[in-house]
Structure 1
Amino acid sequence: MVYTGKPNQITIAMFAVYMDIPLLSCYPLLLPTVASLMLFFHLWRRDSRARISLPPGPPAWPIVGNIFQLGKRPHESLYALSLKYGPIMTLHLGMKTTVVVSSPAMAKEVLKTHDNVLAGRMVIEAVKSISHHKSSLIWGEYGPYWRHLRRILTVELFSHKRLEALQHLRRDQVFHTIRLIFEDKGKVVDIGRTVFCTSLNLLGKMIFSTSVFDPHNPASAGFKDTIGKMVELSGTLNLVDFFPFLRFLDPQGVSREMAKDLKALYEFTDVFIQKRLAARRESVERKDSEQDFLDVLLDCTSEDFSLVGARNLIVELFIAGIETSTITIEWAMAEIIRSPEKLRRVRQELDEVIGSNRKVEESDINCLPYLHAAVKEIFRLHPSGPLLVPHKAESSCQIGGFVIPKDSQVIVNAWAIGRDPSVWDNPSEFMPERFLELPNSKIEYGGQNFELIPFSAGRRICPGLPLASRMIHFILASLLHSFEWVLPDGMKCEEMDMSDECGLSLKKAAQLNAIPIPRLPDHIY
């Protein structure tokens, strides 16, 4: 196909199909606008690239740029392109200039060396619904308010002292889940759904001192479904993200749906906040050792941090915390179940440290090096956020001898870094042992080793990392220690579907179902 710089109806039609937009609605909305803007924008972009030394990249199509080259699996597509154009490359996604880095060295440049310049956030349209991004820690612009939010999380909520004080709540919820699985022994368990509900109630107890998901309560069941829907919407390839001038049309309805879901989560959360405020007015405040996250957030409210800010932060804790834990644990269970030798080693370690006369305690986790190695290997192979969350250049800077223009989007392909054969031997294989031997045994995921950055690094590193790490290891160890897991319908390990599904997160495409067989004496459950 030859592109002449004139409006091309085939291009528009292909783009409409790619973005899942009905053709009949696409033509009247897009074609007149594209026809008038395309020539100017295409020539301007070509001239701009000639004037500054952008990183190399694939040729861009008129109008859509390199959007088609993302495909349905952008983490893999971008990795394939990086093999040709290098660990730092430029793509034009519609009207958005995007720089993609795919090596530990380039990731360090973005997330550490030039962190002060690249700490901005490229906000997707979905989270601009009802101005959520303005009080968001994940999507908020780097500045005084964002720093204040982060300080509250790191100092008040996710400190070692606070997490230790709330350990009994996590223990109670995990033990409750193990008990429920035991009572339904012999029945097929949807591991992803089970972990999702466990994580939801675990966080609910830490935030509100109560479980928030009850399958028999329509309100809490709706809360669970809304969280899942919001995660899906956030990962949708949205036309408006590539062509901001179409914001007012919202042709895919993403912003409208997100606004509806956000309002539902706000209303659900407000009920707990108002009940707690009423209780605080009527009685003496609880001791510090008894305070949950909501108490802490209410104590932190001020002119700079309102009740609305507290509510929005709670909503983000649920969305981000549950998604990360659920995805990681489901992938870990899948990889371990399909690798009998790895499963044997995990079980041997659990039996040696814990034995068969009690359940796993959170305090046991530091004594399980092979389990830690298995989780690191899952972070490498299946990072929950394969492309992390996009950064934005607040001003121009130079990386690797190339110019990163102001306002450009910067993406770190954590999935590609985890599969880089120059960094990892046999990168596509699940090998926890690699993290038990030098030099990999020194690699951690706390943001200092750029070979493994599932939680990002620098100023934008996930502040919930300490809690997520505790949840993932504790739940995973409990599931593996308490039960044998047998695949249903006589399925063999090698027949498991290990394909993934990429949005903002990297989910397992096919849900993991398995039958639990108790390993411990009945009275332990």
Structure 2
Amino acid sequence: MTATRFRFTQMLVVVARWSTDLIGSFSRNKRILIELGEYPELTMLISVPDVLVRAFANIVGQITLSKRLFDTQGDEANRYKEMITLVQSGSGLFNISDFVPALSRFDLQGVQAKLRKIHLRFDDMITSLLDEHSATATQRQGRPDFIDKLRASMAAKDSKDDADTISEVNVKGFVFDMFTAGTDTASIIAEWAMAEMMKNPSIMARAQEEMDRVVGRGRRLEESDVAGLPYLQAVCKEAMRLHPSTPLSIPHFSGEGCEVDGYHIPKNTQLLVNIWAIGRDAATWEEPLEFRPERFLSGPAASVDALGNHFELIPFGAGRRICVGKLAGMVFVQYFLGMLVHAFDWRVAEGEKLDMEEQFGLTMPKAVPLRAIVTPRLAPAAYA
């Protein structure tokens, strides 16, 4: 990594540290409505991942660009969801060039060409968003968002040395990462957690009982309530253990040759950590294939967190290359899952089966998107 790239990475870490406070204040704003909350009097059939991706994209857009991207319904939201799906599924395709680099110039399977087309579509969207953001800079005086702060940091740097200059390409890459990592991965975890609770109604009932006791039914769940909801936190941890959104870690490379548990690892070997397998290791987890949130409330797993401090549960990775947005990711999942479970009753539509198959790729969403009948369960004033 060059010095410039390292400093840019440090800048992103600083930005990520701001995220928790920003998300907290954003979630308490009455303008922040979970997509279903706009229809408190209706019982309806919804696509859970569509609702989650729109909601997360709107929060990331507001934090990053001071812009709510999508209305509750619309073609733009559908196109965005399609692009996210294509990026994640395309990036996870088997590509022989990854294992035989000499073949990369031939693109034998057409994977590189497919990904270039997808990224061009995403680039057009991000370029349009950044152009609009620049044109409205005066409207945010005193209320800078992430991009404003990032550009201010760039302007404050000594730009005499071109090697130290952070370009708009870097900014685009940052926005791209925020939208892909900040929406798809969080929505996958929340969808799996919801599916597991619908499969196990007693878990759903226990989570709702906890929130009714702590929050009541007269208002919505606030982000500040989550700290007092240990069972909700346990549900999120269990979803991250059993259904990590990224089954394999980002690639690591061995800087030097080394020996690990009797195996010789040559220099520059690409290494992938199987996060999915770690979470299902019978040597660590009792009944590892069962969804049991209570395992995190007592016993040996009670002190285990999901933030990289315990190697038996590393949904965000671990070490120096851990996901810098891990805290924001936890807030996203816990808060939105809590809002959904607290505000609505959930059931499978009549005549439909709850499919729990996984779709393998760069991420691991449900093979069949979760559809559910939702019914409001709070006082009408709570949805206002």
Give TM-score, length-normalised by structure 2: 0.91
How far apart, CA to CA, are the structure 2 residues paired with 1:186 and 1:371? 24
> Contact conserved, 2:219 with 2:381, CA < 8 A, in 1?
no
Amino acid in the other structure paired with 1:338: K
**1:424 has 2:285 as partner:** yes
Cα separation, partners in 2 of 1:481 and 1:150, compared to 1, 3 Å = same
1:509 equivalenced with 2:367 (yes/no): yes
Unaligned runs of 5+ in 1: 1-141
Specify whether residues 447 and 402 from structure 1 end up closer, same or farther in structure 2 by C-alpha distance, changes over 3 A only.
same
Tell me if 1:152 matches 2:5: no
Aligned to 1:179: 37
**1:16-55 alignment to 2 at 5 Å?**
none
Q: Distance in 2 between matches of 1:194 and 1:162?
A: 22
2:311 corresponds to which of 445, 450, 466: 450
Aligned to 1:292: 145
- May I ask how many residue pairs the two structures share in their alignment? 374
Alignment partner, residue 56 of structure 2: 199
Shift of 1:358: 0.1
- In structure 2, the residue matched to 1:67 is none
Secondary structure of the corresponding residue to residue 448 of structure 1? coil
How far off is 1:170 after superposition? 3.7
Secondary structure of the residue aligned to 1:237 is: coil
User: Aligned partner of 1:158: which letter?
Assistant: A
Tell me the TM-score normalized by structure 1. Answer: 0.68
1:210 matched to 2:210:
no
Question: 1:29-73, CA deviations, whole angstroms, 9 ceiling, x for partnerless residues?
Answer: xxxxxxxxxxxxxxxxxxxxxxxxxxxxxxxxxxxxxxxxxxxxx
SS of 1:158's equivalent? helix
Task: Give percent identity, aligned residues only.
Answer: 33
Q: Which residue of 1 aligns with 2:273?
A: 412
Distance (Å, rounded) in 1 between the aligned partners of 2:75 and 2:191: 26
Alignment correspondent of 1:249: 106
CA contact (8 A) 2:4 2:165 kept: yes
Letter of the 1:291 partner, please give it: P
Distance 2:77 2:336 in 1: 22
Shift of 1:401: 2.9
Larger radius of gyration between Structure 1 and Structure 2:
1
How far apart are the structure 2 equivalents of 1:448 and 1:429?
Answer: 23
Residue of structure 2 aligned with 1:320, choices 172, 181, 190: 181
In structure 2, the residue matched to 1:107 is none
Partners in 1 of 2:369 and 2:312 — Cα distance?
Answer: 29
Compared CA separation, residues 444 and 522, structure 1 to 2 (3 A): same
Please give the residue correspondences for 1:363-512 in structure 2 after superposition, counting only pairs within 5 Å. 363-490=224-351, 495-512=353-370
Name the CA distance, whole Å, in 2 between partners of 1:279 and 1:522.
Answer: 36
| Structure 2 residue 88 is matched with structure 1 residue 231 | yes
What are structure 2's unaligned runs of at least 5 residues?
158-163
In the superposition, relative to structure 1, how do residues 296 and 484 fare at CA in structure 2: closer, same or farther (>3 Å)? same
Deviation at 1:299, TM superposition (A): 1.3
Counterpart amino acid of residue 286 in structure 1: Q
**Structure-1 separation of matches of 2:32 and 2:89:** 26
TM-aligned CA distance change 1:329 to 1:357, over 3 Å: same
Contact 2:210 2:229 in 1 (8 A): yes
Change (3 A) 1:223 1:257: same
Q: Supply the distance in 1 between the matched residues of 2:279 and 2:139 (Cα, whole angstroms).
A: 51
AA aligned to 1:475 is F
Compared CA separation, residues 342 and 174, structure 1 to 2 (3 A): farther
**Kindly tell me: are residues 221 and 432 of structure 1, through their superposed partners in 2, closer, same or farther at Cα, counting changes over 3 Å?**
closer
What corresponds to 2:160 in structure 1? none
- Asked if 1:262 is matched to 2:115, the reply is no
Aligned pairs (5 A) from 1:75-86 = none
Q: Displacement, 1:503? A: 1.0
Counterpart-to-counterpart distance in 2, 1:498 and 1:285: 45
CA distance in 2, matches of 1:195, 1:284: 29
> In 2, are the aligned partners of 1:393 and 1:408 still within 8 Å (CA)?
yes
* Partner residue in 1 for 2:161: none
Structure 1 contact 387–415 (Cα < 8 Å) conserved: yes
Paired letter, 2:365: K
Query: Contact 2:19 / 2:328 at 8 angstroms: preserved in 1?
Result: no
Task: Give the aligned partner of residue 520 of structure 1.
Answer: 378
Instruction: For 2:51 and 2:139, locate their aligned partners in 1 and report how far apart those are by CA, in whole Å.
Output: 37
Give runs of aligned pairs for residues 284-363 of structure 1, distance below 5 A: 286-287=141-142, 290-301=143-154, 302=157, 303-363=164-224
Query: Do the aligned partners of residues 217 and 190 (structure 1) sit closer, same or farther apart at CA in structure 2, a change above 3 Å counting?
Result: closer
